[in-house]
C-alpha cells in the first residue's frame, strides 16, 4: 500500500470514528507571547492539520496564568472537529475576514470555503473568496481579545453574542487567544502570529485603472494617453486575461499584444506601471511549453487514481499546479523570470480558489472547484492531504510561489502581487481586492464594512472594485464610489467585459471633474498614506480603521460602518453616509483641492485634534516629486499641541532596511498668538533635507485656516491671530 493510500485510509478512519459528539480535553495550554495563549487539544496531529496561517511556529514562553479566563472547549462529532468559546458580558464582535453584512459581527455566521461568487450571490455572500478563521471581541471597557482557529479545513464560523463556535469538516486544530488592553494591541498580537504585509512600493498606493479587458495594445495606449492629456492622476494600467494567447498563462497574443516589452516601456516613459494577470489553470495542450514543462516536472494535481486532474477554466480544460509540493512552488516561481523581463511591474493572481467551470455537470455534482477527495502530495512541512484540507490555502500557496518568482526576477524591487483567494497569513505575500462586486448602491455601501473587516482580520492592503465590476455603472454611482474609494488602501477602478466604460472621463465633463478632484485628493495625501502603510508593515495595524478606534470605550461607535479612519488621524465621511455617529472630541474639516468641499460627491475629510497630517502637492503619478512643497496640516488639541509623523525612503527597493530612510516626528505648540512647528525626533540615516526643501504649515482652528512657511532646518511660525 502506498503512503497516499495509508494516509487516506487513516483519514477515512478518523472521519468515521466517534459518531456521537465527544468533548476533547486540552492537552497543552501555554503562553507563546505577551497576552497570547496557545491551546492544543488531546489528539492534535500536525500531519492532519498543518498550519498554513502562522508565520512561524510559536515558542512556549511560560505557563498560562490561573487568572486566564478565555478557555476554549474542543469537540469531535462524527469525526469532524470543532471548538467553542463561551462569552460573558457585553462583547462587540468583529472579524471573519472577507465577509458581507455588518461590521459588527454579533449574531452572524459564515462558511469558510473559498468560492468564486460573482456579485456575492452564493448564499447571500456568506461564502466568499477568502478564509479568515478569526474573531476579535471588544469589551465595554475597551479591552479586547482575539481568537485564531489555526485550521484550513472547510469550516463554519458562528459569532453569537454569548458564544463563538467554529466547526470544521476535518481534524483537530490549535487555537490561539490574544487578550490585551485594546483592539489595536490585539491586532498587533495577530501580526506577531501571522506576520505583517511587506512595505509596498510607493507606486502601488496610486490610482489603478483596469478592465476585463483592455483587449489591444492600442486600447491600453489610448487609456494611458487620456489620463495624461486630461491631467487625471493615475499610476497603473492593468491587463486582464485577453492579453494572452487564447488564455494560455505566461503568453501574449501576437496579434493584439505583439510587442509587450515596448508597450511596457512606453507606459513607463509616461509614468505608468503595468500589472498583468496570471491564473493557476494551465491549458491542457501538449504543444504548449508551460504544460510541457509542468508535465516533465510532474507537478500537476492528480485524481485519486493517479491521473492528472483536469478542470475547465478560461482556456478550456486545464491542469493545475499542486502548490503543496516544494518543487511545484519552485517551478512556478521560475516561470516569472522571462515573463517579467518584458517590463511587467506587478502580477495579479486570479481564479485561484481554485475556480472550476463545472456547469455542464449534473447539479448535484457541481462544486465550482476540485472534488473534496482530490489528493495533494505535500512535501517538507506539509503532509499529503485531500482538497478538503488544502482548498482554502490553494491561493495562499500560489501567491507564496508567485512572490518568490517576482522577487527572484527583480531582486532590487519590492514585489507587488494582488490575489483573489487567500487565507489568513497570506497577507505576507499579496494584497487583495473584494472580488467581483456589482454596480449598485448596495455594493457601494457594503464595500466600507467589508474593507474595514479585512483590515481587522490581518489584511490591511485591500479595497473593492471602485464603481462595481459587474453590471453597468451610472455616472452618479461612479462619482459617489470614487468620492470615498479614493481613500481606501487599494484604489482601483475596474469593469467587466460587456459593461459600459468605467474610466473617470466616461460619464461626461461634470463627472470627469469630480473624478479628478477625488484622485487629486488621494495624491495630495500620499505622504500621509505612505507613512500609515509603513506603520502597518511594522505593527500589523490596519490602514483603514473603524470609527470606534477613535474611542474604543464609546458604545455608540461600535456599530458605525458608514465612515472610517485612515490611520489614526484622518476621518473619511462618504457622501452617502446618513447621520453617521462621529467620534467625540476635536475634528476639523480639511480641504485638499479647490472645490472639494463644494462637490456633493466628495467624502468629507476631518483631521483629529492633536494631530499633524503631512500632504504633498498635486502630482500625476508617484514618480513626480510630492514634496515641493510638503504641507503640514495641523489641528491642535485642548492643550494647544499636536504631533504627527512622516516616513520617507526611495519608494521602492530595499535600502530602507539598511537604515536609508527617515521617520520624522513633527510637533506643534501654541505659544501666545503663534503656533510653533518643528521636528522633534528623527529615525533612520536618510538625509531628509534633500527631500524637504520647503514646508508649508496650515493650522486649522474652529474652521479657520492659518498659514506659515519654512524649511525642515528650523522652527516654522504660524500667526493665528
Q: How many angstroms separate the CA atoms of 457 and 148, rounded?
A: 10
Supply the DSSP string of 538-581, one letter for each residue: HH---SEE-GGGG-TT-GGGTT--S-EEETTTEEEE-TT--SPP
How far apart (Å, rounded) are the C-alpha atoms in residues 344 and 491? 19
Q: Could you give the CA distance from residue 531 to residue 664 in angstroms, rounded to a whole number?
A: 10
Residues 6 or more apart whose Cβ sits within 8 Å of residue 268: 274, 343
344 contacts 277 by C-beta, under 8 angstroms: no
Give backbone dihedrals phi and psi of 168, rounded to 5 degrees, phi first.
Answer: -110, 170
Indicate the length of the chain as a whole number: 721
Instruction: Please calculate the CA angle 90-92-95 and round it to the nearest 5 degrees.
Output: 150
Q: How far is CA 40 from the centre of its chain?
A: 29
User: Is residue 360 flagged as an active site residue?
Assistant: no
From residue 574, alpha-carbon distances to 106, 482, 518, 562 in Å are: 25, 10, 12, 7
Q: Which listed residue (353, 384, 520, 649) is catalytic? A: 353
**Catalytic entry in 436, 465, 503, 596:** 436
- Measuring CA to CA, how many Å separate 305 from each of 4, 281, 284, 301, 364? 11, 21, 19, 11, 22
Beta strands in 476-527 (DSSP E): 491-493
CA distance 551 to 555: 9
* DSSP one-letter code for 62: E
Asked if residue 606 lies in contact with residue 580, where contact means CB atoms within 8 angstroms, the answer is no
Q: Which of 38, 345, 350, 503 is catalytic?
A: 350
Catalytic-residue membership of 78: no
Distance CA 165, CA 195 (A): 25
Are 686 and 662 in contact by the 8 Å Cβ rule? The answer is: yes
- 436: cell is 467581483
For the chain, give me the number of helices (H) and strands (E)?
A: 12, 42
Measured between alpha carbons, how far is 698 from 436 in angstroms, rounded to an integer? 41
Instruction: Mark whether 353 is an active-site residue.
Output: yes
d(CA 678, CA 714): 7
Residue 491 cell numbers, joined = 484604489
Catalytic positions, written as ranges = 350, 353, 436
Amino acid at each position: 500500500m502506498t503512503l497516499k493510500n495509508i494516509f487516506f485510509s487513516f483519514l477515512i478512519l478518523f472521519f468515521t470514528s466517534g459518531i456521537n459528539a465527544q468533548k476533547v480535553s486540552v492537552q497543552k495550554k501555554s503562553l507563546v507571547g505577551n497576552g497570547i495563549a496557545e491551546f492544543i487539544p488531546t489528539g492534535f496531529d500536525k500531519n492532519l492539520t498543518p498550519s498554513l496561517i502562522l508565520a512561524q511556529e510559536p515558542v512556549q514562553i511560560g505557563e498560562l496564568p490561573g487568572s486566564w479566563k478565555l478557555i476554549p472547549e474542543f469537540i469531535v462529532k462524527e469525526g469532524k472537529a470543532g471548538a467553542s468559546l463561551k462569552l460573558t458580558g457585553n462583547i462587540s464582535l468583529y472579524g471573519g475576514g472577507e465577509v458581507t453584512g455588518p461590521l459588527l459581527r454579533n449574531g452572524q455566521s459564515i462558511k469558510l470555503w473559498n468560492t468564486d461568487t460573482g456579485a456575492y450571490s452564493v448564499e447571500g455572500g456568506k461564502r466568499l473568496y477568502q478564509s479568515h478563521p478569526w474573531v476579535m471581541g471588544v469589551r465595554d471597557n475597551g479591552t479586547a481579545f482575539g481568537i485564531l482557529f489555526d485550521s484550513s479545513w472547510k469550516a463554519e464560523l458562528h459569532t453569537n453574542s454569548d458564544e463563538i463556535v467554529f466547526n470544521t469538516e476535518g481534524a483537530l486544530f490549535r487555537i490561539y487567544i490574544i487578550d490585551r488592553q485594546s483592539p489595536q494591541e490585539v491586532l498587533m498580537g495577530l501580526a506577531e502570529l501571522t506576520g505583517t504585509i511587506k512595505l509596498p512600493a510607493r507606486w502601488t498606493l496610486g490610482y489603478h485603472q483596469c478592465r476585463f479587458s483592455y483587449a489591444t495594445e492600442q486600447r491600453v495606449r489610448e487609456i494611458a494617453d487620456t489620463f495624461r492629456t486630461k491631467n487625471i492622476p493615475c499610476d497603473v494600467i492593468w491587463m486582464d486575461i485577453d492579453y494572452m494567447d487564447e488564455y494560455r498563462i505566461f503568453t501574449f497574443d501576437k496579434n493584439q499584444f505583439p510587442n509587450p516589452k515596448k508597450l511596457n516601456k512606453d507606459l513607463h516613459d509616461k509614468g505608468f506601471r503595468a500589472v498583468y494577470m496570471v491564473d493557476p489553470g494551465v491549458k491542457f495542450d501538449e504543444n504548449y511549453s508551460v504544460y510541457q514543462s509542468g508535465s516533465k516536472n510532474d507537478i500537476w494535481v492528480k485524481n485519486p487514481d493517479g491521473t492528472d486532474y483536469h478542470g475547465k477554466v478560461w482556456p478550456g480544460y486545464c491542469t493545475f499546479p499542486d502548490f503543496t509540493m516544494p518543487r511545484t512552488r519552485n517551478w512556478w516561481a521560475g516561470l516569472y523570470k522571462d515573463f517579467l523581463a518584458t517590463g511587467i511591474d506587478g502580477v495579479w493572481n486570479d481564479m485561484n480558489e481554485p475556480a472550476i467551470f463545472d456547469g455542464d455537470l449534473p447539479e448535484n455534482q457541481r462544486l465550482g472547484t476540485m472534488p473534496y477527495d482530490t489528493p495533494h502530495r505535500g512535501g517538507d512541512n506539509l503532509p499529503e492531504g485531500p482538497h478538503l484540507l488544502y482548498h482554502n490555502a490553494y491561493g495562499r500557496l500560489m501567491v507564496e510561489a508567485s512572490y518568490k518568482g517576482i522577487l527572484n526576477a527583480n531582486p532590487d524591487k519590492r514585489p507587488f502581487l494582488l490575489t483573489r483567494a487567500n487565507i489568513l497569513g497570506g497577507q505576507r505575500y499579496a494584497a487583495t481586492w473584494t472580488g467581483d462586486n456589482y454596480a449598485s448602491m448596495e455594493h457601494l455601501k457594503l464595500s466600507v464594512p467589508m474593507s474595514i473587516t479585512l483590515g481587522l482580520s490581518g489584511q490591511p492592503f485591500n479595497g473593492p472594485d471602485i464603481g462595481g465590476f459587474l453590471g453597468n455603472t451610472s455616472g452618479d454611482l461612479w462619482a459617489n464610489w470614487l468620492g470615498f474609494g479614493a481613500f481606501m488602501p487599494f484604489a482601483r477602478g475596474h469593469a467587466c467585459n460587456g459593461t459600459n466604460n468605467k474610466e473617470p472621463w466616461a460619464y461626461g465633463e461634470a463627472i470627469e471633474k469630480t473624478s479628478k478632484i477625488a484622485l487629486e485628493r488621494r495624491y495630495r495625501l500620499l505622504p500621509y498614506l505612505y507613512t500609515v502603510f509603513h506603520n502597518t508593515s511594522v505593527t500589523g495595524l490596519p490602514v483603514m480603521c473603524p470609527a470606534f478606534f477613535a474611542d474604543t470605550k464609546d458604545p455608540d461607535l461600535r456599530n458605525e460602518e458608514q465612515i472610517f479612519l485612515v490611520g489614526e488621524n484622518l476621518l473619511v465621511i462618504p457622501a452617502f453616509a446618513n447621520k453617521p455617529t462621529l467620534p467625540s472630541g476635536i475634528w476639523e474639516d480639511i480641504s485638499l483641492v479647490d472645490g472639494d468641499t463644494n462637490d456633493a460627491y466628495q467624502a468629507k475629510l476631518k483631521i483629529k485634534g492633536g494631530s499633524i497630517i503631512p500632504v504633498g502637492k498635486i502630482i500625476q503619478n508617484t514618480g513626480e516629486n510630492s514634496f515641493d512643497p510638503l504641507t503640514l496640516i495641523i489641528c491642535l488639541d485642548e492643550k494647544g499641541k499636536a504631533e504627527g509623523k512622516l516616513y520617507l525612503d526611495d519608494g521602492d527597493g530595499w535600502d530602507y532596511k539598511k537604515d536609508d530612510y527617515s521617520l520624522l516626528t513633527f510637533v506643534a505648540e501654541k505659544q501666545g498668538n503663534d503656533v510653533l512647528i518643528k521636528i522633534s525626533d528623527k529615525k533612520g540615516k536618510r538625509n531628509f533635507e534633500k527631500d524637504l526643501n520647503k514646508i508649508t504649515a496650515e493650522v486649522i482652528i474652529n474652521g479657520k485656516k492659518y498659514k506659515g512657511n519654512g524649511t525642515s532646518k528650523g522652527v516654522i511660525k504660524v500667526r493665528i491671530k
